[in-house]
């Protein structure tokens, strides 16, 4: 199982908060830091899955969406990508496709660099 499978999941089921390991020993159990923006993880299986993604971006969250169930040439994927591009434009955010397996969609005030860090 690769890192992204662990992060996003490989079984098709939804992830629960207890599926993640808290790395900050300073936080009390179940306590989350105050934040204006949350990074959300999503899986796009079909067109209905984009509703929650759109809502999250409209609410100011960043979404990393797993698109491994689709090929980039798939008409359904083209429709989904066009819809999410429209959302990013409407909120003044950004959207990129990372490799063949992820879309990253951001809200207003958050841009995505097209250059990798390091070499």
3-106 CATH choice from 3.30.110.150, 3.40.50.150, 1.10.3660.10, 3.40.50.170 = 3.30.110.150
pLDDT tens digits along 102-112: 999 999 999 99
Starting at the edge strand found earlier in the chain, the sheet holding 62-66 runs 39-43, 62-66, 102-106, 94-98
- Extract the residue ranges of the chain whose pLDDT is less than 70: 1-32, 70-73
Can you give the pLDDT at residue 48?
Answer: 87
Task: Reduce the secondary structure of 18-73 to three states and give it as a string.
Answer: HHCCCCCCCCCCCCCCCCCCCEEEEECCCHHHHHHHHHHHHCCCEEEEECCCCCCC
Residue 103 CB neighbours (<10 A): 23
Reading the block at residue 33, the tokens are: 């830091």
- pTM of whole model > 0.75? no
Q: Indicate the domain borders of the chain.
A: 3-106
């Amino acid at each position: 199982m690769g890192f992204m499978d662990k992060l996003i999941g490989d079984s098709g089921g939804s992830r629960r908060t207890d599926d993640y390991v808290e790395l900050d020993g300073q936080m009390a159990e179940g306590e989350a830091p105050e934040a204006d923006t949350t990074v959300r993880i999503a899986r796009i299986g079909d067109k209905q899955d984009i509703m929650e993604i759109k809502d999250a971006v409209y609410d100011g969250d960043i979404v990393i969406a797993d698109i491994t169930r689709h090929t980039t040439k798939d008409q359904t994927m083209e429709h989904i990508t066009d819809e999410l591009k429209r959302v990013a434009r409407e909120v003044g955010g950004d959207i990129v496709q990372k490799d063949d397996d992820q879309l990253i969609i951001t809200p207003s005030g958050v841009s995505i660099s097209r250059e990798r860090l390091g070499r």
